[in-house]
Amino acid sequence: MRDDPKRIWEYCLTRLQDKINPQSFKTWFSSATALPNSADGTLVIRVKNLFVAEWIEQHYLPLVSKFVSEVAQENLKISFAYPLHDGTLAYIIPTKGKEANNFKEERGRFLNPRFRFDSFVVGDFNRMAYTAALAVAEAPGKTKYNPLFIYGGVGLGKTHLIQAIGNFIAEEDPGKKVIYATSEKFTYNFINALSRNRIQEFTRAYRSVDVLLMDDIQFLSGKESTQGQFFHTFNALHQVNHQIVLTADCPPEEIDGIEERLLSRFKWGLVVDIKPPDFESRVAILKNKAEFDNLDLSDSVIEYIAHNITSNIRALEGALIKLIAHASLYGREITVDLARKVLSQKRRVSYRGLTISDIQRQVARYFDLQENSLCEKKRTKDIAFARQLAMYLSRTLTSSSLKSIGLRFGGRDHSTVVHACNKIEDLIKRDEKVRRMVEEIRDSLTHGPSK
């Protein structure tokens, strides 16, 4: 039976979306489609232009081939097509081969070969975590760091680091059995095994490894039977000094919905955090990425990005990709001016039409408050904080003046708004929780019903 190119490509896109960052996915794959009339044995992917085709070929071909081979029944070649000015299609056929093989080894371990120690930029914000991870990779199960527990906000490098441990061990000592899984995958495997009466196999698979790398452990929250299973896995491995590495978005004591006996075990070894990168580190990361991708970026452009994108490394990468894509697609040189234009676009586009009422409604909902309490005179601590946050969001996400924001929050003075904005900005820098809270509300404003 012939494979259906559309179905294969849909599957491939889903897998890609999982694997690469959202900005890259959008930039390179959002308009890629499979041609229905692919010639025998070839899957033809149609993209916008030659530039995109070449970029995908150079950067994503091994991944694409891997995912295609997961579903296709026949052995498909992959080629790309893009429209010429007169509407006809031009084709490029990749000269692949050796690259595609890289993924064979990692199959089963689910490690992404991109995540390595030598591509990981180290600064004050992540040095502790890096040092501990390297120590563990060099002598798994033999250090005091068992388990090694790494925590930090999104996009700060937890997955990169934990997978770097896996890649390092797999290369140094291919005999060692390493499993990398997110806690969601662990849960899924467990439930699957239960329903198919394969618990023994599941247990054996996870307990027979030398190194267990479990990413995003916070997702075990509230899943009691999975936690029970993980508890036994943990004990079995720890007893025989096999290495366990865990990541989460907050320290053990702050994860809700996880049994005490597990939480206390998480603290048996070493708990380290990764903080948001400081300015110098952001510059270093951008330089590193630029070099990796062979990009010629001036220092002023790099500094511009580093000044303006501060939240995390994934956002830095996203900004860089967006800028490169823009410059290449329109044949422009990358200057600070272009960076300013391209990087400010997102905010304007995605928050367009947002009103102060939208923000008040969403913030009130987030804190479980009556919407009008944000406009009242009451000054209890939590209402005051929610109000300041809403003012800050109004200031940064709408074009309203300080004065009109003050008016909309119960006729307050513009200096009150300034104070609120400064305070929240300061908190965002110092307090990971506040930063995440702001991001969450901001996301809900762009994806939620009010927008």
Least Cα distance to 320 among 188, 143, 330, 338 occurs for: 338
**Site for ligand ADP (CB under 6 A): which residue of 140, 147, 155, 252?**
155
Task: Write out the two tokens for 217.
Answer: 């452990």
Task: Write out the two tokens for 260.
Answer: 């005490």
Where b means 16+ CB within 10 Å and e means fewer, 22-38 reads ebbbebbbeebbbbeeb
The packing angle between helices 199-207 and 224-239, to 10°, is 40
**Site for ligand ADP (CB under 6 A): which residue of 16, 44, 148, 156?**
156
Count the residues of the shown chain that bind ligand ADP, applying the rule CB under 6 A.
16
Q: Which lies closer to Mg ion via its Cβ, residue 153 or residue 252?
A: 153
Q: How far is the CB of 271 from Mg ion (least distance, A)?
A: 17
Q: Which lies closer to Mg ion via its Cβ, residue 312 or residue 398?
A: 312
**CA dihedral (299, 300, 306, 307) positive or negative:** positive
Residue 326 binds ligand ADP, judged by CB under 6 A = no
Least Cα distance to 319 among 342, 336, 335, 341 occurs for: 342
Of these partners, ligand ADP, Mg ion, none, which one is at the site of residue 286 (CB under 5 to 8 Å by kind)? Answer: none
Residue 159 binds ligand ADP, judged by CB under 6 A = yes
Q: Applying CB under 6 A, which part among 151-159, 187-195, 227-235, 237-245 lies near ligand ADP?
A: 151-159
By DSSP bridging, strand 211-215 and strand 148-151 are: unpaired
Residue type for 136, please? Answer: V
Q: Which lies closer to Mg ion via its Cβ, residue 24 or residue 79?
A: 24
CA 162 and chain centroid, separation = 14
**Site for ligand ADP (CB under 6 A): which residue of 313, 389, 417, 441?**
313
Residue 27 binds ligand ADP, judged by CB under 6 A = no
Residue 126 binds ligand ADP, judged by CB under 6 A = yes
Q: Which lies closer to ligand ADP via its Cβ, residue 170 or residue 285?
A: 285
| Rounded-to-integer distance, Cα 299 and Cα 303, Å | 6
| Rounded-to-integer distance, Cα 305 and Cα 316, Å | 7
Of these partners, Mg ion, ligand ADP, none, which one is at the site of residue 335 (CB under 5 to 8 Å by kind)? Answer: none
Contact 114, 120 (CB under 8 A): no
**Site for ligand ADP (CB under 6 A): which residue of 66, 158, 322, 435?**
158
Q: How far is the CB of 266 from Mg ion (least distance, A)?
A: 17
**Site for ligand ADP (CB under 6 A): which residue of 317, 324, 392, 445?**
317
Residue 154 binds ligand ADP, judged by CB under 6 A = yes
Sheet containing 77-83: which strands, arranged edge to edge? Answer: 33-34, 42-46, 77-83, 89-92
Q: Which of residues 235-294 bind ligand ADP (CB under 6 A)?
A: 285
By DSSP bridging, strand 42-46 and strand 211-215 are: unpaired
Of these partners, Mg ion, ligand ADP, none, which one is at the site of residue 160 (CB under 5 to 8 Å by kind)? Answer: ligand ADP
Residues found near ligand ADP in the complex (CB under 6 A): 21, 120-121, 126, 152, 154-160, 285, 313-314, 317
